[in-house]
Chain A
Amino acid sequence: MAAGSTSILLIGCSGDLSIVDPAGPAARSIATLWWVMLAGAVAILVMVTGLVVAAFRVRQPVAGDARREKIWIIGLGLGFSMTVLAALLAYGLAAGERLMPRAAPDVVRVAAEARQWEWRFTYDDRPGHVTANLLHIPAGRPVDVAITSVDVVHSFWVPRLAGKLDAIPGHVNVLRIEADLPGTYRGLTAEYNGEGYRGHVFAVQAHDAEGWAAFLEGSTP
Chain B
Amino acid sequence: MTALRRHRKLSAIWASEPGWKGWTSSVNHTDLGRMFLVTAFFFFLVGGLLAMLIRAQLATPDSAFVDAGAFSQFFTMHGTIMMFLFAIPTFEGLAIYLLPKMLGTRDLAFPRLTAYGYWCYVFGGLMLLVALVFGIAPNGGWFMYPPLTGPLYSPGINTDFWLIGITFVEISAICAAVEFTVSILKYRAPGMSLDKMPIFAWYALVTSLMILTGFPPLILGSILLEVERAFGLPFFQADLGGDSLLWQHLFWLFGHPEVYIIFLPAAGVISTILPVMARTTLLGYGWIVASAVALAFLSFGLWVHHMFTTGIPQMGLAFFSAASTLVAVPTGVQVFAWIGTLWKGRPELHLPMLHILGFFVTFVIGGLTGVMVAVVPFDWQAHDTAFITAHLHYVLFGGFVFPILAGIYYWLPLVTGRRRFFRLGEMAFALIFLGFHGTFLAMHWVGLLGQRRRIETYDADTGWGAINFVSSLSSFVMAIGLAMVLIDVAIHALIAVRGRRNPWGAGSLEWASMSPPPAYNFASLPEVTSREPLHGDPGLPNRLARGEGYLGTPRDGRRETMTVDIASGRPEGIVIYPGNTRLPIMMAAVTGLFFLSILLKLFWLTPFALAGIAALALVWVWQLGDRADQGLQDAGRGAVLPLVGETDRAPGWWGSVFLLVANATFFGSLLFGYAFLWTVAPGWPPPEWLPPSMAELGIGAGSAIGAALAMRLAILRNRRSETPVPFLALALAATLATALTFGMLILRLPPPDGHAYAATLLILGAYVMLHALLAGLMQAFLIVRARRGFISPRRRAELPIVLLWSDYVAAVAALSLLAAHLPGFLV
Contact = CB atoms under 8 A, between A and B. Distances in A.
A168 B384 contact: no
Contacts of B450: 16-19, 159, 188
A100 B376 CA distance: 12
A33 B452 contact: no
A175 to B, nearest CB: 9
Contacts of A16: 450
B303 to A, nearest CB: 16
Contacts of A170: 238-239, 243-244, 681-683
A65 interface: yes
B380 A30 contact: yes
Contacts of A18: 448-450
16 contacts: A17-B449, A19-B385, A30-B378, A34-B448, A55-B347, A69-B283, A72-B283, A73-B284, A73-B287, A73-B336, A81-B333, A96-B375, A163-B380, A164-B380, A192-B454, A193-B148
A112 to B, nearest CB: 13
Nearest to A154: B148
Contacts of A195: 68-69, 72
Interface in B434-464: 448-458, 461-462
Interface stretch (B33-41, B249-257, B356-364): B356-364
B489 interface: no
B68 A68 contact: no
B605 interface: no
Given A78-B333, A152-B147, A190-B385, A165 B448 contact: no
Interface stretch (B4-12, B337-345, B626-634, B704-712): B337-345
A169 to B, nearest CB: 4
Given A170-B243, A190-B385, A96 B317 contact: yes
A8 interface: no
A127 interface: no
Contacts of B456: 198
B725 to A, nearest CB: 55
Most buried by A among B145, B238, B245, B340: B340
A198 B457 contact: yes
Contacts of B461: 14
A135 B241 CA distance: 31
Interface string A32-71: 0110010001001100110110111010100001001101
Shortest beta-carbon contacts, A-B, top 7: A163-B380, A17-B450, A170-B238, A72-B340, A81-B332, A173-B311, A92-B375
B360 A171 contact: no
A73 B68 CA distance: 49
Nearest to B332: A81
A201 to B, nearest CB: 10
A191 B384 contact: yes
Contacts of B148: 152-153, 192-194
Interface stretch (B366-374, B499-507, B578-586, B667-675): B366-374
A81 B287 CA distance: 15
B287 A69 contact: yes
Contacts of A221: none
A52 B381 contact: no
Interface stretch (B261-269, B321-329, B554-562, B796-804): B321-329
A45 B398 CA distance: 14
A198 B68 contact: yes
A180 interface: no
B283 A19 contact: no
A41 B394 CA distance: 14
Contacts of A85: 325-326, 328-329, 371
A82 B294 CA distance: 14
Interface string A142-172: 0000000001110100010011111011110
A10 interface: no
A27 interface: yes
B606 interface: no
Interface string B291-324: 1000000000000000001110010011001100
A117 to B, nearest CB: 11
Contacts of B382: 19
Given A34-B381, A165-B380, A171-B238, 20 more contacts: A17-B462, A19-B450, A41-B372, A49-B360, A51-B339, A58-B343, A60-B344, A65-B344, A73-B333, A80-B336, A81-B332, A93-B318, A96-B314, A96-B321, A164-B381, A165-B311, A173-B310, A188-B452, A194-B153, A198-B456
Interface of B: 68-69, 72, 140-141, 145-148, 152-153, 238-239, 243-245, 278, 283-284, 287, 291, 309-311, 314, 317-318, 321-322, 325-326, 328-329, 332-337, 339-340, 342-344, 347, 349, 357, 360-361, 364-365, 368-369, 371-372, 374-385, 448-458, 461-462, 681-683
Contacts of A60: 343-344
A215 interface: no
Most buried by B among A20, A44, A197: A197
A37 B287 contact: no
B448 A33 contact: no
A3 B313 CA distance: 34
Interface size bracket, A side: 35 or more
Contacts, number: 246
Interface in A69-119: 69, 71-73, 76-78, 80-82, 85, 88-89, 91-93, 95-97, 99-100, 116
Nearest to A92: B375
A196 B335 CA distance: 43
A155 B384 contact: yes
Contacts of A89: 321-322, 325, 375
Contacts of A100: 314
Given A44-B364, A48-B339, A164 B371 contact: no
Nearest to A51: B339
A159 B380 CA distance: 10
A140 B263 CA distance: 46
Given A37-B375, A77-B332, A163-B309, A68 B340 contact: yes
A186 to B, nearest CB: 8
Contact of B145 (A72, A165, A191): A191
B501 to A, nearest CB: 28
Nearest to B375: A92
Contacts of A116: 153
Nearest to A97: B314
A19 B448 CA distance: 5
Contacts of A73: 283-284, 287, 333, 336-337, 340
Given A19-B450, A33-B377, A96-B318, A155 B287 contact: no
Given A78-B333, A165-B311, A37 B343 contact: no
Interface string A184-214: 0000101111111110000000000000000
A94 B146 CA distance: 33
Nearest to A98: B377
A143 to B, nearest CB: 16
A92 B147 contact: no
A19 B446 CA distance: 10
Contacts of B321: 89, 92-93, 96
A38 B759 CA distance: 48
A212 B278 CA distance: 69
Contacts of A44: 364, 368
